[in-house]
Structure 1
């Protein structure tokens, strides 16, 4: 809340109620009231005796000063409510730890030598493949996938195309599907894994699957 009222300077002295809005570090009206009184006294000292300030002017300044203090207090209470809400969200999210969740995405986590890839085909396909890609952008495994319309889950055994085991960690993947005329078949791809931790990022709950982070809003399935 921004409140600013500029008084005409008197002998170089100017008071702005926005000066009070600088009290954003928890300073109270009582702690800064001496400053306010000093400014007010200076205004009285240099006022024109033939045209004295209206008492309504003093009241207006005090009201504006107090309004800023009330705004600061309100902001503090809102921050406390937001912090409480974040705490409740995080507390609820703890229940996901140990459960297997499925979510949209193009990144998967190889855990203990295996990872689950999910995809949904919007129509029957003539051919479907899953490409697993390492951090260097190399395709390390190509998997033949089911071509029937609907939901599918494929467990990758963590082996590359040569049958060699790969290290646990993050990998990218791409599901491709074409029909008999080589036209792409609409699909949605995702990944599944066991939740190992939870955290808040910019007020949003994020589930951790080891190094993989999945926003709770992207989760599609939950299994015990």
Structure 2
């Protein structure tokens, strides 16, 4: 005949009562703790682990190995929650830095190096970096078919240049067309190489593309912010 331990029975009943009270309290606070502790899954795990400890049979306590494994799971989950919080903080910092960068560039006049230059109906303003030893520079502008529509000798001493869309045959460039600008440089009669102009334009937007900060401009050119020069 089996013998009932009154003390164990009383302790078990008390544990069950405590668990029910604890679960009722945690249910009422779950919505408040959801954001603080990382979400409903986290709170559910805590409630189950607490109830398991409180309702274990005093005569057959929870296996220590299993308990350690569950505590390890709890620790891992806690670290994950903290990591998520850290990532959120990093994302917020990146957003703030992006806003600061945008404020520093928007509306600024810049020079963007490009061989292909959009024509919007207004004169294209540009500059160039003459290679060392160059004495002469010749601008050649070609249309999308590769036909040369304008040729001009450039003054190496000038700081900026302009093309108003005129063609050598008396024609005029259409708006929203794109042209190739090639500046041939010479030392005497010796050809040194071809360089691209630096289109002078205004920054209209700043964005992120595959982790790279890029700027958009009024000339419809886009570029990596590291390749853009501010013009005083």
Name whichever structure is richer in helix by fraction.
2
Contact (CA 8 Å) 1:116, 1:153: kept in 2 or not? yes
Deviation at 1:94, TM superposition (A): 3.6
Out of 125, 149, 153, the position equivalent to 2:134 is 125
Matching of residue 206 in structure 1 with residue 188 in structure 2 = no
Q: Distance in 2 between matches of 1:27 and 1:133?
A: 61
Deviation at 1:72, TM superposition (A): 4.7
Matching of residue 173 in structure 1 with residue 181 in structure 2 = yes
Comparing 132-141 with 169-178, which one deviates more in the overlay? 132-141
Deviation at 1:29, TM superposition (A): 4.2
Query: How big is the alpha-carbon RMSD for the aligned residues of Structure 1 and Structure 2?
Result: 3.8
> Gaps spanning 5+ residues in structure 1: where?
1-25, 41-52
Deviation at 1:84, TM superposition (A): 3.7
Structural mapping, 1:38-187, within 5 Å? 55-147=64-156, 152-169=159-176, 170-185=178-193
Deviation at 1:55, TM superposition (A): 1.9
Contact (CA 8 Å) 2:184, 2:191: kept in 1 or not? no
The aligned length equals 186
Q: The residue matched to 1:67 in structure 2 has which SS?
A: helix
Out of 27, 39, 42, the position equivalent to 1:30 is 42
Contact (CA 8 Å) 1:106, 1:191: kept in 2 or not? no
Q: Distance in 1 between matches of 2:200 and 2:65?
A: 68
The 3 A distance-change label for structure 1 pair 31 and 217 is same
Q: Distance in 1 between matches of 2:148 and 2:39?
A: 59
- CA deviations over 1:98-149 (Å, ceiling 9, x no partner): 332113332334344211222111234354222233344443322222345x
Contact (CA 8 Å) 1:106, 1:173: kept in 2 or not? yes
The 3 A distance-change label for structure 1 pair 76 and 193 is same
The 3 A distance-change label for structure 1 pair 68 and 95 is same
> Gaps spanning 5+ residues in structure 2: where?
1-37, 53-61
Runs ≥4 in structure 1, deviation > 6 angstroms? none
Contact (CA 8 Å) 1:131, 1:143: kept in 2 or not? yes
Larger radius of gyration between Structure 1 and Structure 2? 2
Q: Distance in 1 between matches of 2:85 and 2:144?
A: 44
Q: The residue matched to 1:75 in structure 2 has which SS?
A: helix
Deviation at 1:67, TM superposition (A): 1.6
The 3 A distance-change label for structure 1 pair 179 and 29 is same
Structural mapping, 1:183-198, within 5 Å? 183-185=191-193, 189-198=197-206
